[in-house]
Amino acid sequence: MNEKDSKDAVDKLLNKALGTNNAKPDFEKFCSANVDAVNVLKQNAKRKRNFFEEYFSFPNILSQLLRPVRIPVGLCLIVVLLVILSLWDIDMPGSSVAWAQIRRTAQTVDKVKFYEFCFKEDNTVEYTRGSYALGKVEMINPDGTTSIDDGRKRLVMAQDGSVINEINTEFSNLTCVENKHNFFEVLTKGILEYQQEQIDRQKPSQIADDFLTYDFSPPPALEVHFDSIVVTVGKNSLLPIQMKLLYKDTPGRYDVFFFEYSDNSQDKQ
């Protein structure tokens, strides 16, 4: 069987198998069954289309003008869009929040509570809690004593309030302590004060629905001790919620800080 005969054979089979369409159009019946729809159509006759609408309606003109160039114009638009997207910093919300904004927001906080967990290399955990208020850091130490550090000296007190010892401050030579304006830099002992200009420009490494994560390398002077510093920030409040310090000199050790802004109530998260 040649190709033509083969096609004819399929044609015949299809004609035989499918039969014929016996549907009969009956417009009168249609009109009587669809009175409402027909009335809508008849209404169109009463609707006067003005000259402008008839000949100069915007979509028609645009459609006619663009007809011969529709595909090239479409392609050009796509290319232009891609160029704009690549040049313009169209990112996810939060991706453009530089650390400087977080630092400025932290400066507005006068009081904050913090909880510090030190995970040691032998899998034990040391817990400390305390608070920062107007340049002073008060901590309840693991041995039950309390220490108050104002950046000049550190007073260690027994549970009854008597001063046991007066030692050197842990926050010496920190401008943030002297200026009494940034709890976060005080509590991190100024780690993020080094190369501040560079750190200020840093953008989040992770963006979630309600928080941003900043991943900092330690300053050169502290590279021997720290591996990295990871700070989680509330996306709405722009305040640090959590900080994780990973140590290099003691494998397996890391400190986690949680911050609570109950007095300031700035972080609703």
Does the footprint of other proteins cover residue 44 (CB under 8 A)?
A: yes
Site for other proteins in 20-39 (CB under 8 A): 20-23, 25, 27, 30-31, 33-34, 37-38
CB of 33 to other proteins, least distance (A): 7
**Closest to other proteins by CB, 7 or 201:** 7
Q: Residues, the chain, total?
A: 269
Q: Own/partner pairs for 240-245, CB < 8 Å, 24+ apart?
A: 240/102, 240/106, 240/184, 241/211, 241/267, 241/269, 243/184, 243/188, 245/188, 245/191
- Residue 50: CB minimum distance to other proteins, A: 13
Do residues 141 and 128 lie in contact, with contact meaning Cβ atoms separated by under 8 Å?
Answer: yes
CA distance 70 to 127: 68
Which residue, chain included where needed, has tokens 């700035």? 266
Beta carbon of residue 52, minimum distance to other proteins (angstroms, whole number): 16
Query: How many whole angstroms separate alpha carbon 191 and alpha carbon 257?
Result: 14
66 touches other proteins by CB under 8 A:
no
**Stretches 2-10, 175-183, 222-230, 255-263: which one binds other proteins (CB under 8 A)?**
2-10
| Contacting residues toward other proteins, per CB under 8 A | 1, 6-7, 9-11, 13-23, 25, 27, 30-31, 33-34, 37-38, 40-47, 49, 59-60, 63
